[in-house]
Amino acid sequence: MLVSVIIPYNKDRGYLQAALESIERQTYKNYEIILSQSSKTVGYNFNQAVKQAVGDYICYLAEDDLLPADSLENRVRFLLHSDYDFIHSRGKRLYKNGTTKPYNLTNPATTLQEMLQVNTICGGTTMYNSSIFDSLLFDETLTTAEEYDFHLNLLSKGYSLGFLDEVTYTLRQHRDQKSIGNMATEYQDKRKQIIKKIQNRYA
């Protein structure tokens, strides 16, 4: 099964090469890498890449993050032996000093109602059957939380979600991160407003 690994980004914040090398170190070798860069939103860049993708499965990697070496292998094996439309798994945080900690918001029994309260899917740990994108794409108007909106949309439409109890994604913690890197009050307040708007779509 071919996996399309999409890296959608606006600019290289200094980590892109490391992200690419983490894909090249994968134990699972049947993949394609699609880089999608523009000054538009991450959702736009992702959608443009999906239109080019020919993989049976699709996942994405932020240009500042990393994939553990067995990430693709574990996710493909799990999906092959299941009937799920998409899956999520566990992530870990990587700090500047090299230490790691588990991403602790993940909940294996994620439901739509739970997701409306708090995002319990670590976005980069997902893998999708490519057929999903025949009818659904990311919201290109969102400037943050685009994967949160997409997962709520999938769950609201009855797509089945599975959980793989393996660490498949490494989130790099740094001050230029879109979610928690910028802790300025004005930025975080705007982000909260966007998330609330997303939640209201599916409530």
Separation between Cα atoms, residue 18 and residue 73, nearest integer Å: 19
Nearest to 150 by CA among 69, 37, 46, 55: 46
> Could you report the per-residue pLDDT of 146-183, keeping only the tens digit for each?
999 999 999 999 999 999 999 999 999 867 666 555 56
Q: Does domain 3-202 have CATH number 1.20.1250.20?
A: no
Q: Tell me which H or E stretch contains 195.
A: helix 185-202
First CA to last CA distance, the chain: 36
DSSP one-letter string for 11-57: S--S-HHHHHHHHHT-S---EEEEEEE-SS-HHHHHHHHHHH---SE
> Could you report the per-residue pLDDT of 80-124, keeping only the tens digit for each?
999 999 999 999 999 989 899 999 888 888 899 999 999 999 989
pLDDT for 36 equals 98
Residues 6+ apart with CB under 8 A from 95: 101, 173
Evaluate whether 67 touches 168 at the Cβ level (below 8 Å).
yes
Q: Which pTM does this prediction carry? A: 0.92
> Could you report the per-residue pLDDT of 55-73, keeping only the tens digit for each?
999 999 999 999 999 999 9
In the 8-state DSSP scheme, what is residue 173? P
Domain ranges of the chain: 3-202
